[in-house]
Amino acid sequence: MNLIKKGSWVQIEKIVLKVGERADNIPEETKNVPLKLFQKGYLQADAQIGEKVTIRTIIGRNIEGELIAENPKYSHDFGRPIPEFLSVAKEFRELAKYKEGN
Amino acid sequence: MRKKNKIMKMALGIDYEEFEEDGISFNYEKLMEKASYPLEKIRAIQSETKVGNTPLFELRNINKAVRALSSPGKGARIFLKDEAANASGSFKARRASVSVFHAQEKGYKGVVAATSGNYGAAVASQANMRNLKSIIVQEVFDSRGYGQPEILEKGRKCETYGAEVIQLTVGPELFYVFLKVLEETGYFNASLYTPFAIAGIETLGYEIAEQLQKSEGKYPDAVVITNAGGGNVTGTARGLIKAGSTNTKIIGTSVDLKGLHMASDRDFNRKSFTTGHTGFGVPFTTQPDRADVPRNAARTLRYIDRYVTISQGEVFYITEALSQLEGIERGPAGNISLAAAFSIAQEMREDEIIVVQETEYTGAGKHVTAQMTFAREENGIEVKKGNPEEQIPGKNIVIPESPALIKVKELDLNELRTSYIQKQVSGTEIDKLSERELKFLANETKSSVNFIKEVLLNLK
């Protein structure tokens, strides 16, 4: 496994509340899974994915957790064009034209 | 609980006890006056950090469709306040600006906000300009690890502004993480619900009144405002009143997400709107003090004259109309009030003006195409053209077949008022409520002492 170098920008994960520690007044499906936290920062010592590490956040706080990724990519995008929407302008303009024609 | 109050007091510098009166009542106006800044000062604060003076323009092509659908003599003109022009791309910059200024004045080193919305980016952006650090706590992922694309985008934006971003899976226990961060850092709590946050929005209502007076020679007949936690309605309405626009009808609107549970790991990604929906709007309206401060400065029922809902598909549809007919790409969450206004304008007279008081930036994750793709392909939501009447939140998204099918649905305000009163008096002896408490309830619900007495009689 690749060693990630000290000082790299990484992401960690930790469990804040285990199943059994969660609030009483929440739905079962939420109660049955742990509350997890994800955070990014500079790795404080060389480490491999899955190891317990310390990071220093962008504003300088030290946080501990399990190393899960090195500089993860922003994964959100624009999706696909939605064919149902291609005709919106036409639908509005036809209304106005019909009215003017009267 | 006591610890919570102690942390809050330290992180806000407001002693809410000072505004408590007998029993259930507190002095709202005194809280707004003493725990914030006057409007002129706020305008000066905001002008230092690229907030406010956003354009207000008429939606000429959309208004042609409104007229076409209206009966003779009907069809008000819609004007849009382009709040996306604020630093960080939404009206939330107004809300953040005063808190961050105050934090700087009082010598705090940083600010913390618990928000999955545009507010995080607004706080981070304002903090940059005031040379403060910022931490944003977000609810982002379901237990499968799927992040809501809109919230992922907001996380990216916060990171771009140099904020420390703490991302969590679904659950209201986010609040405890937030409290712990406040305690550990000693930073200022840039809550959405302080007098600072609400006073920051007053300039929005004030500008609308001023701009319309200047260009059209009149105040707006109605303003449509997206309602979630209540701040947008409260601040805008207060600003309109301060500008002298006292006869303007205040209409709140939310996306209908009936049936979806806000704390559900399963429902979390089955909704395409992360805010501005009934899942926040209705509970906050009937129980404003469920917020992260002892007394919420956002109090919808004090100002609202009407409350309507609209479906997800209708908002997406009008969002596309805004780009295809008006040439501006915004939202979609910021266009909830536009969808509602399109329907309401058809009931109004043609010489009237209805103002949609916000827009927001759009981008990867937020965009209609991103949300629809996520709903359809990752969460099994059926997307179809049809009549929005057939929508079932969490199961389908119905895109109107024609603009004629965009129609708001009424929420019964008296029912909401009754629910609010019920919650306020629960645990107290109804017969022993003082005149001041009755008057307080009347002010809180924009009703009368007689109405309150009638409701209380039925509660017994």
pLDDT digits (tens, 9 = 90+) for B220-236: 999 999 999 999 999 99
Could you give the CA distance from residue B300 to residue B157 in angstroms, rounded to a whole number?
29
Mean pLDDT of B316-342: 96
The answer to whether B141 contacts A38, with C-beta atoms less than 8 Å apart, is yes
Query: Would you state the structure tokens that stand for residue B124, as one six-digit string?
Result: 């981070």
Average pLDDT, rounded, for chain B: 95
**Per-residue pLDDT at B156:** 97
Closest residue in B to A60 (Cα) is B164
Q: What is the pLDDT of residues B282-328, one digit of tens each?
A: 999 999 998 888 899 999 999 999 999 999 999 999 999 999 999 99
Is residue A96 helix, strand or coil? helix
* Residue scoring higher pLDDT (B458 or B86): B86
CA distance A49 to chain B (A): 17
> A26 touching B, CB under 8 A?
yes
B302's tokens: 């004090």
- Confidence band of B9 (pLDDT split at 50, 70, 90): confident
pLDDT tens figures, B362-374: 999 999 999 999 9
B64, B161, B188, B318: best mutation site toward chain A, by most A Cβ within 10 Å? Answer: B64
Chain A CB contacts of B67 below 8 Å: 96, 99
Q: Does A98 contact chain B (CB < 8 Å)?
A: yes
pLDDT of residue A89: 95
pLDDT at B348: 98
* Of B13-22, B278-287, B388-397, minimum mean pLDDT range: B13-22
For β-strands B56-58 and B249-255, DSSP reports them as unpaired
Q: With a threshold of 0.90, tell me whether the complex ipTM lies above it.
A: yes
pLDDT above 70 as % of chain B: 100
Shortest Cα distance, chain B CAs vs residue A48, angstroms: 21
Q: B155-197 pLDDT, tens per residue?
A: 999 999 999 999 999 999 999 999 999 999 999 999 999 999 9
Q: What mean pLDDT do residues B425-444 have?
A: 93
Secondary structure letter of residue B144 according to DSSP: T
The rounded distance, in Å, linking the Cα atoms of B371 and B148 is 9
What CA–CA distance (Å, rounded) separates B457 from B460? 6
Q: How crowded is the C-beta side of B91, counted as CA atoms within 13 Å?
A: 32
The Cα angle at residue A55 between residues A50 and A58, in degrees rounded to 5: 135
Amino acid at residue number B71: S
pLDDT-derived band at A1 (thresholds 50, 70, 90) equals: low
Mean pLDDT of B424-441: 93
pLDDT computed for residue A102 by the predictor = 45
Taking CB atoms and an 8 Å limit, are A29 and B67 in contact across chains?
no
Peptide bond into B388 cis (omega under 30): no
A36-73 pLDDT, tens digit each: 999 999 999 999 999 999 999 999 999 999 999 999 99
How many other CB atoms are there within 10 angstroms of residue B389's CB atom? Answer: 11
User: Looking at the whole model, is its pTM more than 0.90?
Assistant: yes
A17–B173 C-beta distance less than 8 A? yes
Q: Taking CA B359 as the corner, what is the angle to CA B412 and CA B445, rounded to the nearest 5 degrees?
A: 25
Give the one of A30, A76, A99 whose C-beta lies nearest to B170's C-beta: A30
> pLDDT value at position B25?
95
The answer on pLDDT for A100 being more than 80 is no
Residue B77 has pLDDT above 90, yes or no: yes
The DSSP element (H or E) to which B56 belongs, if any, is: strand B56-58
Task: Provide, rounded to the nearest whole percent, the portion of chain B with pLDDT above 90.
Answer: 91
pLDDT for residue B22 is more than 80 = yes
Lowest mean pLDDT among B129-138, B206-215, B261-270, B348-357: B261-270
Q: What is the mean pLDDT of residues B43-70?
A: 97
Question: Among B224, B135, B115, which residue's Cα sits nearest to residue B175?
Answer: B115
Query: Token pair of A76, please?
Result: 């959100």
B268, closest residue in chain A (CA to CA) = A30
Is residue B376 classed exposed, middle or buried when 0-12, 13-18 and 19+ CB atoms within 10 A define those classes?
middle
**Count of CB atoms situated within 10 Å of the CB of A34:** 17
